[in-house]
Structure 1
Amino acid sequence: MTAIDAHSKGPILPDPRSRDDPAATPALSIEGISHSYGTRRALIDVSFAVAPASFTALLGLNGAGKSTLFALITRLFGTQAGRIGIFGHDISLAPGEALRLLGVVFQSRTLDLDLSVTQNLLYHAALHGIGKREARLRSDEVLTRIALADRACSKVRDLSGGQMRRLEIARALLHRPRLLLLDEATVGLDVKARADILGHVRQLVIEQDIGVLWATHLFDEIVPGDDLVVLHQGRVLAHGPVENIIADAGARDINSAFMRLTGAAVDPGSPAS
């Protein structure tokens, strides 16, 4: 099936004008990325961009290649083919500069359950070379922002699932990145906790001008006005504003547009697996 692309077909990584106009540089640029596990092709010529201070949803079934793409962006896997840029820094050529601008929340929980909320944050700050006094100030700041200041001394294992996820987001923001990646951040949470987490992330885009790539398999986490990338079996089938993708697919909503693009029958708001 031919990919639908509501954006231009120009180069993904910034052109020379970006040096004079920082806003022209994508927060994240993915250009011709392919990746294989032996003979199995997980990603096939994937290209799209995330604009600064914007919310982009990466929608795909479980196994579509979302987590593989995140592993490549974060350098957990080496790039086999193609280029990845973070605010113009090629992650293969300048990984330090690129990754300093990046915050990540992975699908699997990575908190130390036996440390306190604050201890988890201070440990992360130390890994980023943030001094103790500054780390304490930043920890207090992010805990207040995510309404966990009253749990600062609590062990992480005593938090609810939604509170743990909010803490992971706070930790990812501690070194003040300009791009935030979230891989299935609401998995395992109840409806209210999911809405709270998603609302918090959307507010970060508005208040802190952070670019966000939100990977999900849930249709109800995508709203009109979002930029959307549809990833299926390792290929980008569509990229652009939600309204454009729905219209170009001749569909009535994102659920039916997704079904027409992929041939998958999935109920809206339910796990696409």
Structure 2
Amino acid sequence: MSAAALALKGVSFSYTKRQVLDDVSFTLEPGEFCVLLGINGAGKTTLFSLITRLFVSRGGAIDIYGYDLHSQTRKALAQLGVVFQQPTLDLDLSLMQNLRYHCALQGLDSGELKARMQTVLDEIELGDRADDKVRALSGGQRRRVELVRALLHQPRLLLADEPTVGLDIHSRQAILQQVRKRCREDGIGVLWATHLVDEVETEDRLVVLHDGKVLAHGSARQIMQETGTDSVKQAFNSLTRSDAS
């Protein structure tokens, strides 16, 4: 059984005659923060939809901690925590009610996890607003609640699809710090999809996805060296044949 948090081999997908993913292969190890970097339309959200089983892959294999997503679907999905691109909190429920609802969906006893739910809200400095409705929060605060909710059942792999889009720089930094901390301390694998090159650190695992194909896979530092560039932005532009700047 593979020890990889996520292993994709030859994953392809098409909408009617338009191929969106073409032979996508890469691995993500436990404790790794892996950035899936690509412009809008590169295929990032489609790939997430395949990993979360919203779509069914017609080609290739997806393993999550050694569980084949096709033949061991429930065991594979049980390893996941997900933050989708579109917000999914109920705006008319309180923060705590949203967390309790998540527990119910996961088959968890919210009563037993009450202390943990309060702790995670305290960690993101929203403990004193546990009974406030979500609609009263800022966009950055809502995203932070979505992240702690995704981690509440202690998954071993977190998928985050463009989780900082539309947020100010300080909110983005706070969310990234929060997730990187969980990655370091809890040893979870993280697949972080974004089109924002400034969210990539040189020691991150980096997958460059463009027109449905993986153009590079390795540490960001390694990819910069291989492309002879001085920044992730320049490396990305070089790989995607844009004018480097």
Q: Same fold (TM over 0.5)?
A: yes
Shift of 1:132: 3.0
Query: In the alignment, what sits opposite 2:11?
Result: 33
1:198 aligns to 2:148 (yes or no): no
Runs of 4+ in 1 over 3 A off after TM superposition: none
Change (3 A) 1:100 1:51: same
Letter in 2 for 1:37: Y
1:155 aligns to 2:133 (yes or no): yes
Check conservation: 2:34, 2:205, Cα contact below 8 A: yes
Letter in 1 for 2:169: V
Query: In the alignment, what sits opposite 1:238?
Result: 216
1:75 aligns to 2:53 (yes or no): yes
Q: Percent identity?
A: 53
* 1:196 counterpart SS class: helix
Shift of 1:210: 1.2
Provide structure 2 residue ranges, at least 5 long, that are not aligned to the other structure. Answer: none
Letter in 2 for 1:125: C
Shift of 1:165: 0.2
Count of matched residue pairs: 245
Query: In the alignment, what sits opposite 1:208?
Result: 186
Distance in 1 of aligned mates of 2:154 and 2:54: 21
- TM (norm. structure 2) is 0.97
1:99 aligns to 2:77 (yes or no): yes
Provide structure 1 residue ranges, at least 5 long, that are not aligned to the other structure. Answer: 1-12, 15-24, 268-273
- TM (norm. structure 1) is 0.87
Aligned match of 2:116 in 124, 138, 142? Answer: 138
Residues 26-65 of structure 1 mapped to structure 2, 5 A cutoff: 26-65=4-43
Letter in 2 for 1:229: V
Letter in 1 for 2:161: D
Check conservation: 2:238, 2:244, Cα contact below 8 A: no
* 2:111 counterpart SS class: helix
Distance in 2 of aligned mates of 1:26 and 1:157: 38
Letter in 2 for 1:233: D
Distance in 2 of aligned mates of 1:195 and 1:266: 25
Query: In the alignment, what sits opposite 1:165?
Result: 143
1:261 aligns to 2:239 (yes or no): yes
Distance in 2 of aligned mates of 1:146 and 1:66: 27
